[in-house]
Amino acid sequence: MNSSSKGYLISDDFNIFVISDGTGKTAHTVVEAALAQFELPRVHVLRFTHIKNKEEIYSIFDMVRHHKDVVVYTIVNEDFAQAVMAEALSHNILAVNLLGPIVNVLKKISSRKPRGEPGLLRRLEGDALSRAEAVEYAMEKSTGFNLRSLGEADVILLTMCYPHRDEFIFSLAEKGIKCCFLMLDPDIPLPLNLEEAVGKNTGKTLIGLRMEPVYLSALRKERINALGLYQMTPRADIELVKREIGFIQRIYERLNCAVIDITHLSSKDVVKLIMEHIKNEREVAE
């Protein structure tokens, strides 16, 4: 509390002014939770958000009725917070700083300084939601064969069949990137609408992955032996692998997509290259 309640009129029809240099959702939620403890149908909550300068604060206080209305604020900009406090004190208006006390405590026990950036909580919540949605997408829809799953993707990877591809799909999902892959195989007919489904006009990031044939053949042999799937041994034949690599290279040229050679790369390295490509592509688009 930043001001005295001396002289305040006792009534049930006052206004609560919520002021924030962010969205004001935190303060509004707290106010609504407090009001739920009372029967005050005539009390109105007025929210003023994204405050950019002190003049806005002064204009808001011109509307606040002295000795009657209440101000609740979540302001991380120290200059703006001090302006609110000064206005409340000079006009004897009850004002509650929701962030100030806990921020001051943290300043005393922490070696770090507060960032002073509004909206960080919502941004963090948004990032967490994006990550959760991306992971769910990777688990449920990134099958490698279903074109209908491509619509929600941020990134589409075109690839040959090889072990461990799911590892970096989930690594990208943890970064909030919805990524799916479309496996290309000369023995599987291509969709008639391939360009329409995955072409650059979709606005999605399209990346083709390739490997050196000898390396891919060795990977498949290792996987087949590890799982005991010896009936799949022909899939590791070097001539068949070379045929596959040639086939997917022609598709990449047809789609004019970026290509990343992932021979000998770890999943972490593949993710890093994909993220760099996404970043570069977005910078060009801006």
For residue 56, what are the contacts with CB-CB under 8 A and spacing of at least 6? 48
Q: What total of structural domains would you count in the chain?
A: 2
Say if residue 216 is in the same domain as residue 256. yes
Model confidence pLDDT, tens digit, residues 110-135: 555 545 454 444 443 344 444 444 44
Model confidence pLDDT, tens digit, residues 193-238: 777 767 666 667 888 898 999 998 898 888 788 777 777 788 889 9
Q: Which residues does residue 96 pair with via DSSP β-bridges, in sequence order?
A: 72
Q: What six digits make up the tokens of 149?
A: 């799953």
Residue after which a domain boundary falls, among 79, 109, 139: 109
Model confidence pLDDT, tens digit, residues 146-200: 455 566 677 888 888 776 666 666 677 667 777 777 778 887 777 777 777 676 6
Say if residue 180 is in the same domain as residue 44. no
Range of the structural domain that residue 134 is part of: 128-285
Q: What six digits make up the tokens of 280?
A: 């570069």
User: Which residue type sits at 228?
Assistant: G
CB 159 within 8 Å of CB 208 = yes
Say if residue 134 is in the same domain as residue 198. yes
Residue with tokens 């941020």: 154
